Structure 1
Amino acid sequence: MDSFDYVVIGGGSAGSAVSGRLAEDGRRTVCLLEAGGTNDNFLIKTPGFMPFIRNSSNYKYDTVPQKGLNGRIGYQPRGRGLGGSSAINAMVYIRGNAWDYDNWAALGCDGWAYDDVLPYFKKAEDNVRGGNDYHGSGGPLRVSDQGSPNPTSRAFVESAASLQLPTTTDFNGEKQSGFGLYQVTQKDGERWSAARAYVEPLRGKSNFDIRTGSLVERLVIEDGRVTGVAIRRGNKAEIVHARHGVILSAGAFNSPQILMLSGIGPGAHLQEQGIAVTLDKPAVGSDLQDHIDYVSGWETKSREPFGNSLEGTLRMVKAIIEHRRKRTGIMTTCFAEAGGFWTVMPDAPAPDVQWHFVPAVLEDHGRENVGGHGFSLHACVLRPESRGTVRLNSANPADAPRIDPNFLDDERDMAVLRGGVRLSHRIAEAPPLSDYDPQDRHPVDINDDAALDELIRNRADTVYHPVGTCRMGGDDDSVVDNTLKARGVDGLWIADASIMPRLVSGNTNAPSIMIGERCADFVKAEASG
C-alpha cells in the first residue's frame, strides 16, 4: 500500500515549508504532492525573467466579472510547480504589520499575536544583514539586499523624502512605515523560492517522496477522518494513504476547491454541483480578501528605466549574458524594486496603503506590449473591507475554481485607494523623479473624485495576495482552529494563506512560509502529545 505518515498537498510557499520541516529529521515519512513540475530551470532562477514566467505554465485564473471594476474580468495568476507563487513572484520580502497579528489574536486566534509569530519569521530567515531582534540568520529562506537597483528606483525613494515622507532601510523591523528599497528572497543573485529553501535540500532522502505532476482529485475521508488523497498522474488514478494526517497547502483558491470537491463546504452549493455533502461548512471558500491595486504609469524620454527599444533590448541581452556568467547585474532585478507604506486615512491603526515602484511601464499585468521607457507605481489597499468568494465551476478537479474577489464592493476601499493614487502622483511630480519629465499615460484630474474613481474602476486589479477562504478562528464556524486543524473532520490540517482571518498589511509570501513553519510544529506537537 502506498502509505506515508503525512501527505502534504501543494508545494508552494507554505507547503514547501511544512513538508521540509516534517521530513528534515528523518523521523517521519512524508509525501509531497504537487500538480506542476519541479521549476528547476534558469528561467525561474533568473530574477529578471519574472515578467516572462508569470504568464507561462502557471495557473492563469480569471475572476467573474467585477461590478466594482465596471464589469471587467480580473486576472489571477498563481504559481504551479514546486515553490508555488514564490517561484513566479517579485520576491519582495515583507511580513506585514505587527498590528495585523495582534488583531488576529484579538479576533480569537489565540497564539497568533505578533510576539507569537515573530520567532517563526526569524526561524525561517537567513538575512544577509545578520540576525537581530527582528531578523534571523541561518534559516532556510535567504533574504538579500538588491544588487543592482535601477537609478529611478532610488529616485523614487528620494522623491518621497522630498515630500517629508520618511526613508527606511527595513520594512520588517521596529516600524513598517516609510519608503525605501525592498529586500528580496534571493541567494547569490538567483531567485530563492520556498522549494529551493525547504524541499530541494532534502531531495533523495528515503523518507521524503516528492511527486510532481500529481493532480489532487479529492481527500479520502473514512468515518470522519481524512486517511489519504486521491490523485491523478497522467491517466492513472491513485490513492496515497496517510497514517497520521494530511496537510492541505494548495493556496487561497485551490485549498477551498479541494475541500469542496471532497464534500466539505457550503452544502447547497455542493449539491448544485452534484457532490455529496460530507460536512456543511459555509466558511469554506468564503471571506476572500485581496489587495486591490492601481498602477499609475509614466513614459520618459530617458532610457534609464527598463523599456522596449533597441537600446533597452541590447542592454538586457548583455545583462542576460552577465547573469549567466556571474549571477550579477540588472537581471537580478525584482522589478518591484522600491516601495513604501504610509497612512492616508485618519482613523487607520497602521499604514493602509503599500506602494511598489517598478522602473518599467506595465499594462494589464505585463500582458500588453508597451513601447518606449518609463516607470510604474502600484498603490494597493492594505486592509480591504470588501469580501468575496471561491466556488466550484464544476466537479471536475482539472477545472479552474470560480473566483469572485468582489473588488471595491465597500466604498471604504475606494476612499483608501483614491488617497493612495493621489500620493503616487505627488511623488512622481516631486524631484528627482520629476527631473525625468514623466508623461502620465492615463491623465486625469487627480482632484476630481468622480473622474478618478472611474479611472480606478477601469484599470485597477489584484496585486496577487488572495487570502481568507479557509479562515482560522476560535469560533465553531471557522474552517480551522488555532492549531490549523480542520474543524469537523479529523486528520486534516490546512496551512497556507487561506487560513488568514484578515489580510496582512503587505506581501503574503513570507507570512505563508511562517504559517507552514508553525503548522509543522503543531503537527509534531500532536504526534508527541
Structure 2
Amino acid sequence: MPRINLSSGLLVVAIHLLALSRASSGTYLGRDELMRRQIDPGALKAAYDYIVVGGGQSGLVIANRLSEDATKTVLVVEYGTFDDTPGQVEPSSATNYPARDLFNVTSVPQPGIGNKTGTVYAAAVVGGGSTINGMLFDRGSAEDYDNWEKLGNAGWGFSGLLPYFKKSTRFNTPIDPAVVADANITWDTSVYGTDGPVQVTYPPWVWPGTKIQFQAFNEVGVPTQVEAAAGKSYNAFWVPSNVDPNGRRSYARNQYFDPAKSRPNLSLLVNYRVNEVLFSSAKRAQSVRIQARGTANGAATITVNANTEIVLCAGWLHTPHILQRSGVGPKALLTAAGIPVISDLPGVGSNLQDHPAAFIQFAYRTDVFPNPSSAQTNATFAAWVQQQWTQRKGPLSVTTGNSLGTIPLTTMNPTGYQDIITKALAQTPATYLPKTYTAEQLSGFVEQRKILTASYGSSTNGIFEIPFSGGASTALCLDKPMSRGTVTLRTTDRYAEPSIDYNTNINPVDVDLTISAARFYRRWMAAPSMQQLGPTEQSPGTSLTTDAQLSTWVSSSMGSSTAHACCTSAMMPQNLGGVVSPELLVYGVTGLSVGDISVIPLIPATHTCATVYAIAEKAADLIKTRAASGGDPGTTSSTPTSTTTSTTSQPPTTTTTTTTAPVPTQTHWGQCGGQGWQGPRVCASPFTCQVLNPFYSQCL
C-alpha cells in the first residue's frame, strides 16, 4: 500500500468539500466557516502531542480538555463529517437515526432470537452518538459504577465518577413551572454542575397518562425517586434531557468542539479512517496510519506521529477493530489475519454487551385526553401543539420521553429471583460464552457473574427498564444481560467492517429475566389506577401463560440493540481478560490509551450518554496528570492492577513499617483519598498524595 509520511515533508492533495452544510440556524455555511472547523490533509503537521482517534462524543470531550493547554497540540481524526441539518438539533430527531450518520453494518444472525440480524448502531459523524441519540440524560445507580470498582478499577465507583458527571453538565430549571407543579417533577441540583458544557433540563410537557402510570407503579411496589441522578436510578423516576433552554440538542459537537474550534493548537481532520496504530521496537505507540474515506485498499496513506500519547475514542465498534489491526488483540485471530502480534490481549473485541429489548403491546379502551396519539386524531389538538411549539413548549418539546421505570429483579419477581440467581451460578460458564474465550476470559466472566447475580438480588439496582410516557405499549429493555458478544476483524480483509455477534439471549438466564419483566408488566397494567384506562393485552397475548410459551414470544419479539453497545476493550485486570488498566492504558504497550464507551466492564442500567461524558472527562484528567508528572504514558505489566475479591478493590500494595503495624501504600497513579474512598491513604515513596478534587486523589 503506498504511504505518505508527513515527517518526510511530502503533502497530499487536499480533500474536496462535497457540499455546503447547514448550521443549526438553518443558514448555509461558506467554505471559510467550514475550514475553521476542520483541516485538510495538506495542512497536517508531522507530529502532534496528542492524537485522538475518533471525533465522536468521547473524542471531542478529550480533545477539548487536552487543548485547554495552549502549549499542547491535539489532532482529532474522524471517519465521519459534520451533520449541520437543522432538524438534527430538534427534539424530533431523538426518534430518528439517520443513515447518513451511521456506519453501514449489520450483525450476524442471532440464534437466540430466531436467527434475526440487526442494524448495528454506531455513529459515523462528528459528535458521535450524542449527535443522533434519544437525548434521555440519566445515569446508572451508584451500584452500577461501584460494580466497576469491584472488578479491580479503583476510583471508578460512583463517588469517583460523580465529580465528572457534574463537570460535564449544567442544570437549567425547567421553563414551565406549571408543568413541574402539576406532574410533581423533582430534582436535586447538587448532583449536577452549574457551568458544565452539556445543558440539562426537563421537557415542559407531560402526557396526563404518565401521572396515572407513576401512581400504578407505586401500587405494585415501585416507589418514585426524588432524584435518580444521585445514584438512585432504580424504581420509577423523571428523566431530564440534554437540551438547552430553547429545547435544542446540547451535545458534544456544539458544547465541546464548537467553543474550542478556534484554538490554534486543536485540529480536526474529517473523512479519514485510522488504519493502524504503529509501534516502535520497544512497543511504544508512536504514530497512526490514516487513509481517506472511500478510497480503496492500496490507496495512499498518511502517517502522523504522536509525541506524548495516542488516545483511542473510536467507540465500542472500532476501538477494538483498530487495536486488532494494529497487532493488539487475540493472538490466534491476528495470526490468522497475517498481522504481527504486538500484544496478545484476548479480551480485545470480546465482552460485548448491549440492552436488548422485547416489545410488549397493550391498548387502552378509555385513554385520557390528550394522549400520545391525539395529535393524529384531533385536528384542534394538533393545531394547539403547533402553536405551543412556537414557544418551545408542548408535546413537541419532548425527546424520547421523560420518565422511566428501572425495576429491580426482587420487585419484578419476588418469589422467583433467587431461582434465577441459583441457575446462573450453577452454569458452566464456557457453555454460553463465545468459543474464542480463553481461560483468563472465563475467569473474568466468573468475576462478572458474581457481581451481576449480586445485583439480581439487590433492591437498589434495576435489571429491566420500562420507558413510559402515557402510552400502553413499550420496550422491555434488559439492563443486565448475562450473554456476551464479540467484535472481530475479518481475516480476509482487515479493513472491511468487522463481524458483530451480539449473542443475544444465548444465555437462558436472559430469557428468564425477560419473562419476569413481561409478567411484571402485566401486574403493572392490572394495578388499580390503570383500570381507568382499560388496558388490554395484545402481545404476548393473554393465552400465553407458561414459561415455555413466553420463551417463544421472547425469541420472536426481542431485538439485539438499543444503541447502547459497549464493553469491548474492558477495564479489568489483564489476567481476567481485561484490555486497559484503571488509568485506561492498554496492556502490553506504552503511549496508548482508550477513553470511550468500550472501556466499560459491565453495562450500567441506564442510557449511556451521560456516562460516556463522565468517562471522557475523567480520561482527560488522567491523561493530563500523566503528562504533568513526566511519567511514561503506558504499562507493560501483565499482572492485574488490583484484586477482585474485596468489595472495594485496590491497586497492588506494598508494605511500609510503622511504629505499630504494616501500612498498605499506593503505588504511582493509585488513588489515595477522597470522599467515599476505603483504600490505603499512604503513597509509596517517592510519591505523595495529591488531591485532584474532593472525591479523588492520586499518588504523584
What's the TM-score, normalizing by structure 2? Answer: 0.69
* Deviates further, 464-473 or 433-442: 433-442
Map of 2:646 onto structure 1: none
Map of 2:685 onto structure 1: none
Structure 2: which 5+ residue stretches go unaligned? 1-5, 7-44, 174-186, 411-416, 418-455, 630-700
Confirm whether residue 338 of structure 1 aligns to residue 376 of structure 2: no
In structure 1, distance between residues paired with 2:472 and 2:95: 15
Q: Provide closer, same or farther for how the CA distance between residues 376 and 274 of structure 1 changes in structure 2, counting only shifts above 3 A.
A: farther
Task: Please tell me whether the aligned partners of residues 163 and 427 of structure 1 are also in contact (alpha carbons under 8 angstroms).
Answer: yes
Task: Please tell me whether the aligned partners of residues 150 and 305 of structure 1 are also in contact (alpha carbons under 8 angstroms).
Answer: yes
- Decide which of 501, 505, 510 is 1:408's aligned counterpart: 505
Structure 1: which 5+ residue stretches go unaligned? 361-373
Pairwise CA distance, 1:432 = 4.7
Q: Provide closer, same or farther for how the CA distance between residues 283 and 317 of structure 1 changes in structure 2, counting only shifts above 3 A.
A: farther
In structure 1, distance between residues paired with 2:624 and 2:159: 21
SS at match of 1:74: coil
Q: Determine which structure has more spread, i.e. the larger CA radius of gyration.
A: 2
* Deviates further, 192-201 or 124-133: 124-133
In structure 2, distance between residues paired with 1:315 and 1:240: 58
Map of 2:550 onto structure 1: 452
Structure 2 matches for 1:271-420, cutoff 5 A? 271-300=335-364, 304-307=370-373, 310-311=376-377, 323=389, 325-345=390-410, 346=417, 348-349=457-458, 350-359=460-469, 375-393=472-490, 396=493, 399-420=496-517
Aligned residues: 515
- Decide which of 504, 512, 524 is 1:427's aligned counterpart: 524
Q: Provide closer, same or farther for how the CA distance between residues 522 and 304 of structure 1 changes in structure 2, counting only shifts above 3 A.
A: same
SS at match of 2:76: strand
Task: Please tell me whether the aligned partners of residues 58 and 612 of structure 2 are also in contact (alpha carbons under 8 angstroms).
Answer: yes
Q: Provide closer, same or farther for how the CA distance between residues 216 and 327 of structure 1 changes in structure 2, counting only shifts above 3 A.
A: farther
Q: Provide closer, same or farther for how the CA distance between residues 356 and 16 of structure 1 changes in structure 2, counting only shifts above 3 A.
A: farther
Confirm whether residue 165 of structure 1 aligns to residue 222 of structure 2: yes
Q: Provide closer, same or farther for how the CA distance between residues 481 and 459 of structure 1 changes in structure 2, counting only shifts above 3 A.
A: same
* Deviates further, 133-142 or 250-259: 133-142
Map of 1:472 onto structure 2: 571
Map of 1:364 onto structure 2: none
Quick one: which amino acid aligns to residue 228 of structure 1? S
Structure 2 matches for 1:436-451, cutoff 5 A? 436-444=533-541, 445=543, 447-451=545-549
Map of 1:104 onto structure 2: 148
In structure 2, distance between residues paired with 1:313 and 1:472: 53
Pairwise CA distance, 1:116 = 1.3
Structure 2 matches for 1:62-73, cutoff 5 A? 62-73=106-117
Confirm whether residue 252 of structure 1 aligns to residue 316 of structure 2: yes
- Decide which of 284, 288, 299 is 1:229's aligned counterpart: 288
- Decide which of 201, 211, 227 is 1:154's aligned counterpart: 211
Pairwise CA distance, 1:27 = 3.2
SS at match of 1:271: helix
What's the TM-score, normalizing by structure 1? Answer: 0.89
SS at match of 1:422: helix
Confirm whether residue 190 of structure 1 aligns to residue 259 of structure 2: no
* Deviates further, 394-403 or 457-466: 394-403
Pairwise CA distance, 1:492 = 0.8
**Overall identity of the aligned pairs, in %:** 27
Structure 2 matches for 1:496-515, cutoff 5 A? 496-515=596-615
SS at match of 1:331: helix
Quick one: which amino acid aligns to residue 10 of structure 1? G
Pairwise CA distance, 1:256 = 0.5
In structure 2, distance between residues paired with 1:276 and 1:317: 64
In structure 2, distance between residues paired with 1:55 and 1:433: 38
* Deviates further, 110-119 or 242-251: 110-119
Pairwise CA distance, 1:508 = 1.4
In structure 2, distance between residues paired with 1:320 and 1:421: 36
Map of 1:134 onto structure 2: 191
